[in-house]
Amino acid sequence: MQAPKGGTTGLNGEFYEGGQFLPESSQTVKGENKRSQKPAQARKQEIAPYKWVSSDKDSIWGSVSNVCKFHKTGYSKENGAEGHLELVGKWPAAARQQFQSLITRWNNGERWV
């Protein structure tokens, strides 16, 4: 149910403007979203070229693969492509620093943000 034109107070005692959905319970907190309460679920993601792992963390590779060049030094079935990353392109100073930090971490063996 939606609030009528001009607004109204919902069951939880909070004011809702016209057109906003009204709560069905007095326990509802305005602006709270059930989706934000769920823990992160594991998902398959690339952590290095051709190397996929299931994890609930975010991979560094996913954050920087589009802004860097991968210099391949080898390949193995267990590790995927091996090599190092180099930042390419022109980026504002703040973005360049952030990308370079992630690339340095990836080159040092870290795979997760």
Give the pLDDT confidence score for residue 13 in this predicted structure: 86
Identify which has the larger pLDDT, 13 or 81: 13
Give the pLDDT confidence score for residue 104 in this predicted structure: 93
Asked if residue 85 is part of any domain, the answer here is: yes
Identify which has the larger pLDDT, 10 or 25: 10
Asked if residue 29 is part of any domain, the answer here is: no
Section 5-10 average pLDDT: 90
Asked if residue 11 is part of any domain, the answer here is: no
Domain range spanning residue 101? 44-107
- Whether the pTM exceeds 0.75: the reply is no
Asked if residue 88 is part of any domain, the answer here is: yes
Q: Any idea what DSSP says for residue 35?
A: G
Sign of CA dihedral 36, 42, 43, 45: positive
Asked if residue 3 is part of any domain, the answer here is: no
Structure tokens, 9: 């107070």
Asked if residue 34 is part of any domain, the answer here is: no
Asked if residue 97 is part of any domain, the answer here is: yes
Domain count, the chain: 1
Give the pLDDT confidence score for residue 96 in this predicted structure: 92
User: How does pLDDT run across 23-82, given as a tens digit for each residue?
Assistant: 887 877 777 766 656 677 888 999 888 889 999 999 999 999 999 999 888 877 777 778
Give the pLDDT confidence score for residue 83 in this predicted structure: 85
Section 105-113 average pLDDT: 90
Classify the phi-psi angles of 83: left when phi > 0, otherwise alpha if psi is within -120 to 50, otherwise beta: left
3-class DSSP assignment, residue 22: coil
Distance CA 107, CA 67 (A): 15
Asked if residue 94 is part of any domain, the answer here is: yes
Exposed (0-12), middle (13-18) or buried (19+): which is 31, by Cβ within 10 Å? Answer: exposed
Identify which has the larger pLDDT, 38 or 1: 1
Structure tokens, 26: 């007095």
